[in-house]
Structure 1
């Protein structure tokens, strides 16, 4: 109870009838409000009782004369008549102010339950899907990743058409894969006529390449740059993790329990890969990729922008612009065969 709630009543006095127990006679008394107590004195101003303001109970709410007693001791009573309405109102107001300040266990329990439920829901919505997905990425074997990539490739090829397999082109594509291996696992390259945005890496290491990257450029450095970009995107965002994130917790749990991903999840992810622009790769990251795989950056940069204006940082910082050139990406013969892979 705030001090301001008391100050209004600290000089208030009233006449009443008090008895210390049910067997005693009622005594005429004077009642006054103190700082924390209700003081009861007799007509000679001798103190008969102090009642704590925080522990006053009313025996007959809403009735007159008003009868009060210490909380837990209904035998000791104080009776205030109808003519002491101001004192009765003061006591009721003070009791109400004190009651409002008391802790409410029911509300606290409810708040605790709601907080616990909120924490459980937050764990279920945010932490559990992430934790399950991270666990799947650790325990799913490489062979299963390859299988998922092959199944996803089938859905993609319904839009891109079948992989190109022109005479000699498949061997040239294998040579390119050996020249640009990933940091871990094997690399399998597939050229499709259309649909994919540049080069897209699937779970298991397969990279789909759009045919114009080999058909309409004079140097293999361009397609090599797109394969490098696909590698770097996969390092930043695991292709299987991306698929599972889109599929939700259900897709992750199904993979962990049955070792399979549903056709619906694969189909939806294939549509996303065909329509969504690839994540941009920072210039510094791309340049490190060109250094790592020993590929010139300039042909790739000019293929993205023939003027070189938007790709100037790649052009100027090409790690092989000066000094010794990198190892050849493909022999001239393999490059010509790769360019014709979709002609058969």
Structure 2
């Protein structure tokens, strides 16, 4: 230590007492290798104090009285004229104190790092892990119940579901044909179709009433099926409603009415993504449904849906009608005209 070498030739006289009942003796004090050496007048060492463990009984006062840390019975008194030695001891004590590790600071640093780690875990890992776990454990029947609950809330805006008996039978037939039994139709959805948790697909009446063939409605249904494959509808809902609703669903099996209202509004107003073209065309092919009528319904010019038209798997092929004319007519009357 640089401070030690500065004082390695410094000596002073003082009064040393081994214990409270002992007699004070005149001694010679010098600074050694990290120690305060105390010797008698014959230069015989009688005590060595570690500079790191030297304490002062009367800070700022003279004569200065020092003692080993934790033992104020043994003392060393330095008179007023030995101010250089007093200053040297104080300087060395300060330098040693600064070089010591700071347990308090390390403890606070550890606490801060722990809090940061936990916060990072909560903010970045836990929501995703909880979402994945929720998607694994929520049963299909609960997903379907959430889909129905969302339809009920959307009906405040869309109007009631269309329920003509003959039309519903025709709708079920279309669902069986496309292997999509969970279909519902409303009067004013604000968009052609959307999908809900539980495999429920909601259609606007316009997909039946504005077109002369059921292939257009089938195309909108297949597009929603493709989107369901690409992204779990329940996961989409949890992304919008947030972590607290995710936790509520995971622990109680319920979602708050406010969250359902929020997500129902989101579904009817948010911009929709288009499904992957390859996946969608594969569904058209598997269902023996031409893609071109659906593509033209989306864009009569065909410019923005050229991939669908050019990739139509039924292009140039003779296909059976999706539904008999009588069934299609009943389906067009599902909402009562």
The structural deviation recorded for 1:325 is 6.2
- 2: distance between equivalents of 1:201 and 1:241? 12
1:307 match: 301
Q: What's the offset of the Cα at 1:209?
A: 0.9
Cα displacement (A) at 1:57: 1.9
> Which of the residues 220, 229, 247 maps onto 1:226?
220
List alignment gaps of at least 5 residues for structure 2: none
Give the equivalent residue in structure 1 for 2:335.
342
Q: Cα distance 1:339–1:82, how it changes in 2: closer, same or farther (>3 A)?
A: farther
How far did residue 250 of structure 1 move? 5.3
CA displacement, residues 235-287 of structure 1 (integer Å, 9 cap, x when unaligned) = 34433344455445554565566654443332222112122122443444434
Contact 1:197–1:277 (CA under 8 A) maintained in structure 2? no
Which residue number corresponds to residue 29 of structure 1? 28
Matched, 1:65 2:59: no
Q: Is the 8 A contact 1:160 1:195 kept in 2?
A: yes
Aligned twin of 2:152: 154
Say if 1:45 and 1:216 are closer, same or farther in 2 by CA, change over 3 A: farther
What is the Cα deviation at residue 324 of structure 1?
5.0
Aligned length: 335
Residues 21 and 76 in structure 1, CA contact (< 8 A), matched pair in contact too: yes
Preserved contact between residue 187 and residue 204 of structure 2 (Cα < 8 Å): yes
Q: Which moved more, 1:286-295 or 1:151-160?
A: 286-295
Once the 2 structures are TM-superposed, how far is the Cα of residue 160 of structure 1 from its aligned partner? 0.8
Q: Deviation of residue 153 (structure 1)?
A: 1.0
CA contact (8 A) 1:196 1:209 kept: no
Aligned to 2:202: 208
Judge conservation of contact 1:214–1:338 (CA < 8 Å) in 2: yes
Q: Which moved more, 1:231-240 or 1:327-336?
A: 327-336
Match of 2:270? 276
Matched, 1:198 2:192: yes
Give the match for residue 52 of structure 1. 50
| SS of alignment partner, residue 69 of structure 1 | strand
Higher alpha-carbon deviation: 210-219 or 57-66: 210-219
Tell me the secondary structure at the aligned position of residue 277 of structure 1: coil
Show the counterpart of 1:19. 16
Give the whole-Å Cα distance in 1 for the aligned partners of 2:272 and 2:4: 72
Which residue in the other structure is 1:265 paired with? 259
Corresponding residue for 1:181?
A: 179
- TM-score under structure 2 length normalisation: 0.78
What is the distance in 1 between the residues matched to 2:237 and 2:18?
80
Any gaps of 5 or more consecutive residues in structure 1?
A: none
Deviation for aligned residue 1:13: 1.8
1:74 alignment partner, SS class: coil
Q: How does 1:40-119 map to 2 (within 5 A)?
A: 40=38, 49-113=47-111, 116=114
Q: Structure 2: how far apart are the matches of 1:292 and 1:12?
A: 98
Post-superposition offset of 1:115: 5.0
Q: For 1:76 and 1:298, how far apart are their aligned partners in 2?
A: 103
Q: What residue number does 1:163 align with? A: 161
> Which residue of 135, 140, 143 corresponds with 2:141?
143
Cα distance change of structure 1 residues 161 and 20 upon mapping to structure 2, 3 Å threshold: same
